[in-house]
Structure 1
Amino acid sequence: MSRRSSFLERLMAVDMTIPLAAGVLACCLAGFYGGPRLAFQVLIYGVLVVFVVGMPLLIVFGSHANKQHLRRLQKTYGGEFPWSRFLFGPIFKFTYRDRPVSLRKFSGGKHGPTLLQVSIEWNDAPQPFTIRPQGMFDSIFKLVGKHDVQIGRAGFDNAYCIHAEDPSEIRQLLDKNVQRRILDIPEQKRLVIRLHRGEFLVRAQHYSLTSDLEEFTEAALRLFDAFERSALHL
């Protein structure tokens, strides 16, 4: 038997297109019949209603709903939920091979996309770098002479955009095992792999937290292991 959706799930699943369109229409009508001043007042009142009514609901219920998904990982990794700023959602913290790990979920609603982010402390890390899938604008940038780092493997170079402070070092880091682990990440949309200021971060967009949460977390940890092993040979 399927579980009945909670009030919060139904609230967060509401399509905001119609309310936003209605708000724009109300402002236009107010401006047409009452002038710019009335249109501005309608806009201000609309924003106040959203913040006074909508924000408290998300603050009170949103963090709890996000934690419900993350609590499943406590059975595998232990960990805890320290206090975190509500605007950025709850943070699940645990230890992996004696390194602090933070897992964060940015909710996109019941059926909308959700960003999952795993960050691992890596103080003895190599030089900073960023890896993400190639986008439309990357091809344009290449036409005007702005190139990213190429590692010499056409399939990988064509699929990902690589930026690093030390190009020669990132070429050594991205050995075949690391490349395979990157390709193994279950969801590549809006994928970002970044090393900056002693923090290794993996972020990607997901739609099904029921199946993707554990898989993404495990893939991110395996990728970190591959990078760490590769860094030993630098």
Structure 2
Amino acid sequence: MQQEAYGEVFLIDKPLEWTSFDVVKKVRNALRIKKVGHAGTLDPLATGLLIVCAGKQTKQIESYMGQEKEYTGTFVIGGTTESFDLEKPVISVADPSSVTLEQVQVAVSQLTGDILQIPPMHSAIKVDGKRVYESARKGIEVKMDARPTQVREFEITRFEGDEIDFRISCSKGTYIRSLARDLGEILGTGAYLKALCRTRIGSFLLSDAHHLPELIEAIKARPHENL
């Protein structure tokens, strides 16, 4: 009965190269309960805020997933990759040396507000019951329809050489890798995502999140009967 009544929400700073499921599995094993899930996937090459819910709090996952997200990171112009991030090798597209900050700002303005966005092939979206990244890794192309999304804020915080640092506030279902692709297409140089960190989900902040190793140790130190 105690386990059925138990519920908790963990704010975790997801480590680089970990999948969101890796984090959930680690928390699940530490808690020794089955009912654990996350509220919004972060790609392995992204870091930052991951909300993990346990016990009865898993009922709140959808409400957390629907909240606005904020990200910071770096785009690189002049090339692209099959996945629009560094999961795949970089392919040179065009010399970006003549691109100006004004041109970047104009491109950014076209990608701000209510937009239609085609998700990347290397994503967890399901088409015909299958994750599209599974098809992509087998070399099978899947038709992806554009989806409405909202980019409320798209701020350039640094533009130096071929690198563009950004801060983006956006709705559920927005793919930052797709914004990289679209930015590169508008500029005519190609672009890909070099680094990404999720800093906020709704009112939950990365600054309040736990580092995973310390959290796991704290969970294991609890009396098990209190769960």
* The two structures share one fold, judged by TM-score above 0.5: no
Name the one with the larger helix percent.
Answer: 1
Higher fraction of strand: 2
TM-score normalised by length of structure 1:
0.22
Larger Rg: 1
TM-score by length of 2: 0.22
Ranked by relative contact order (alpha carbons within 8 Å, sequence separation 6 or more), the top structure is 2
